[in-house]
Structure 1
Amino acid sequence: MFTQTIERICYSILVLLVLSANGQNVTPQLSISPRDITVLIDETQFAYLNVESGTVNENFTLTFTKQHPELVDISPSYVDIYPDGQKDFMICIVGKSPGHLEITSNATSRDIRTNHIFLRVTVANSRPLIVLSEVVGWIYFVAWSVSFYPQIYINFKRKSVVGLNFDFLALNIVGFFMYFLFNAGLFWNKYIQEEYFARYPQGLNPVLVNDVVFALHAMVATIVTIVQCYFYERAEQRVSNIARIILGVFAICVVIFAILGGTTVIHWLDFLYYCSYIKLTITLIKYIPQAVMNYRRKSTVGWSIGNILLDFTGGILSMLQMLLNGYNYDDWNSIFGDPTKFGLGLFSVLFDILFMVQHYGLYRDAEYVEIDGDDNPQVIVDQEQHRSEI
């Protein structure tokens, strides 16, 4: 009796395994490529749907649904798939109006999963504007990347960091570390990528390799500048108590977010988003200490205007790219509907203008007297001489 029971159990398990294997074999294997298409108005682009041979055992219809029907025409709008029928289909996409949309699919059979059968389509007014936008993007990427070196060079040439605000450096290194953490996590960590695509199944990873490289380079360049502060003349400069408190609050927030992520209260993806919010906050406040310091000293000696000019160039071109894309794709909502990125770029540019006014206008002919801890005059620096050295 016991032996017969064991045999029945083994037979049942074997049947389940066979059924499971058969179920996997007959599940239709569908694929579509490319998933990302850029098309001009009245232009036609193509996507290709493939049904793997031997995986279809029933008739079904696959229907395509446009997120914004007015932007494109799609032909055919549906395909009929049979076990012994056509296995490759060409899908025609014709641009009608600029914008972004997704084309999803649905099958008449509930056994068929179609969540991976979709297209992301961008309809543009002009291809030259696409190229111009890419060129502008690379120019401001280079401008922002190079912008760190004038300050490093000035410090090296003067063998002094007097005039460079330490609060600015402290906020900058924390901001770029948070930015690098966000980019590196989304770019390299497979677990976080899975969380992202589970939340946005039809989304694109927002982090590209140049984002990671820029964040790492900015962090390293800032560290080099901080190291200079330990070896060159710095007078009585130090990180202020206000900056220490702000950084302490950020540190506590990061620790709390990490604990919440480690205890699965929040996803690690959310942890990275919170880190990016810290970076955004730092971008809003990091220029204030340097601007105040210039005002109190009535001088910009020691603060590289080359850094500001390159940052200004990068900020202007960044906003120009957003405006070009807004017109080309009729996507003004990305600017005015969610103004964070555009607003931060504009905020930085306004501070750059303030620094240029201080350097070339307000304190153009100023002479700055460096003093030691006993308020004794130490050295007189001519603003015009400083300008010629930059």
Structure 2
Amino acid sequence: MSWKIGVLLLELATLLVVTVAVNGQALLHTYPHDVTLLLGTNTSFELFLSEHNGSSAEALIFPKHEGVLELDPTSVSFNGLENHSWVIEVHGVNPGLTEIDVNVSTPSIDPSQAFVRVTVQHSNTIVILSQVVGWLYFVAWSVSFYPQVISNWKRKSVVGLNFDFLSFNILGFVLYSVFNCGLYFIPYIEAEYAVRYPRGLNPVLLNDVFFSCHAAFATAVTIIQCFLYEKGNQKISYTARGILLSFALVLVTLAILSSVDVIHWLDFLYACSYIKLAITLIKYVPQAYMNYLRKSTEGWSIGNIFCDFTGGTLSMLQMILNGYNYDDWASIFGDPTKFGLGLFSVLFDFLFFIQHYVLYRNSEPYNEVDGDNEPSLPAVC
């Protein structure tokens, strides 16, 4: 317990050092900056003012979104040269996410560090359930690469596995790894993010870094198998090559612009993430079309699809749980990218299930391993 008190005292001492006046301004500060409470319960945060010049002033304390919480007091007054501190009570009225801001009546006080991000939630049980679901879909998606690897190894063949799908997949996960590693490991880019979003938290967590790097590695292993095992006459289509070349040109151009300070490196990383999203939307199409042409799913591991379906379903379930717990449905329907991509992947998984268990359940593949009977694949494949 003593070490916790020591840490708190150290944080408060650091706070007092930070709040020394800059350019003639006193600094108003809050501690902590993040608060979580259950619906109908109370918590508090502290408001500090140091190095005040002695003039009378008033600070108004208010939430950005009404109806989520109540504050007591909602304003404070100060005068004199001494330091000031107040305890502000917070009562959760409705579930939701909001931010508490502070406005002051004089320009001699800087309130930029006086803010608190507040989360009011329905239930701690849902928080725990959401975390469990999150780890389950993380495991399911991580494992999803290996049924295909094992199938290729057992068959000593990659016939039936579409090379366009693999080429899109490796580029997507490499770009996702670049985005995550850049934001997580490079201080310069973290500083750019902090400047652009001074009150935001780094969106990349360590498990994001691990998943993306592991996904790129597992996909690379599958591609190596394509060089070692029987592949028939399969190759990357001209359409896929054109799409990949277009992505490469965009990335090279943006990298050059970033290196000469025309745009920020953070913008380059965001471009990597946008291309990854675009790839997620198109990468399953070649494999589904190839199955249709061959009238078979042989060579395409259904175990991969089961894991992907499990991961996608649990991912959407977590978003729904969080939406209910924080009354934050806008995170799903207001910005549908993540939810939409999860839904899109699950719909393709359903298509692969239908192909595997209904349409081509007992069908022999149209093409043979030596490629003599393989149909002519159109450019879109």
Note whether the superposition's TM-score is higher than 0.5. Answer: yes
Q: Separation in 2 of the partners of 1:329 and 1:106?
A: 26
Cα distance between partner residues in 2 of 1:229 and 1:328? 46
The equivalences for 1:174-185 within 5 A come to 174-185=171-182
The more displaced of 312-321 and 110-119 is 110-119
Provide the residue aligned with 1:312 in structure 2.
309
Listed as ranges, the gaps of 5+ residues in structure 2 are 1-19, 375-381
The partner residue of 2:32 within 21, 29, 34 is 34
Give matches, 1:1-390, under 5 Å: 24=22, 28-51=26-49, 55-59=51-55, 60-83=57-80, 87-368=84-365, 370-375=368-373
Task: Give 1:132 shift.
Answer: 1.3
- Partner Cα separation in structure 1 for residue 345 and residue 371 of structure 2: 34
- Which structure is larger by alpha-carbon Rg, 1 or 2? 1
Once residues 179 and 317 of structure 2 are traced to their aligned partners in structure 1, the CA distance between those partners, rounded to angstroms, is 25
- Between 72-81 and 133-142, the greater mean CA deviation after superposition: 72-81
Contact 1:26/1:56 (<8 A) preserved:
no
Q: CA deviation at 1:171?
A: 0.3
Under a length normalisation based on structure 1, what TM-score does the superposition of the two structures give? 0.85
Separation of aligned partners in 2, 1:61 and 1:125:
34
SS at match of 2:339: helix
For 1:343 and 1:24, the matched residues in 2 are separated by 46
Identity over aligned pairs, percent: 56
Give the Cα–Cα distance (whole angstroms) in 1 for the partners of residues 41 and 221 of structure 2.
51
CA distance in 1 between counterparts of 2:318 and 2:326 reads 12
In the superposition, relative to structure 1, how do residues 83 and 149 fare at CA in structure 2: closer, same or farther (>3 Å)? farther
SS for the counterpart of 1:115 is strand
Corresponding residue for residue 388 of structure 1: none
Report deviation, 1:240: 1.1
Larger mean CA deviation between 104-113 and 347-356 belongs to 104-113
TM-superposed deviation, 1:69: 2.3
Structure 1 residues 109-135: Cα deviation after superposition (integer angstroms, max 9, x where no partner): 312222121111112222211221111
What's the counterpart of residue 6 of structure 1?
A: none
The whole-number CA distance in structure 2 between the counterparts of 1:82 and 1:276 is 50
Which stretch of structure 1 is more off in the superposition, 362-371 or 94-103? Answer: 362-371
Compared with structure 1, are the counterparts of its residues 23 and 240 closer, same or farther at alpha carbon in structure 2 (3 Å cutoff)?
Answer: closer
Q: Which residue identity is paired with 2:228?
A: F
Distance 1:274 1:74, change over 3 A: same
- Structure 1 counterpart of 2:378: none
CA apart distance, 1:136? 1.0
Match of 1:202, SS state, is: coil
- Give me the whole-angstrom Cα distance separating, in 2, the residues matched to 1:187 and 1:109: 38
Q: Structure 2-normalised TM-score?
A: 0.87
Amino acid at match of 2:321: L
Offset from partner CA, 1:310-366 (integer Å, 9 cap, x none): 110111111111111112222111111121111111110000011111111111112
* RMSD of equivalent CA atoms: 2.1
What per-residue deviation string (whole Å, max 9, x for no partner) do you get for residues 242-287 of structure 1? 1111100000111111122223332222221111111011000000
Shift of 1:375: 4.2
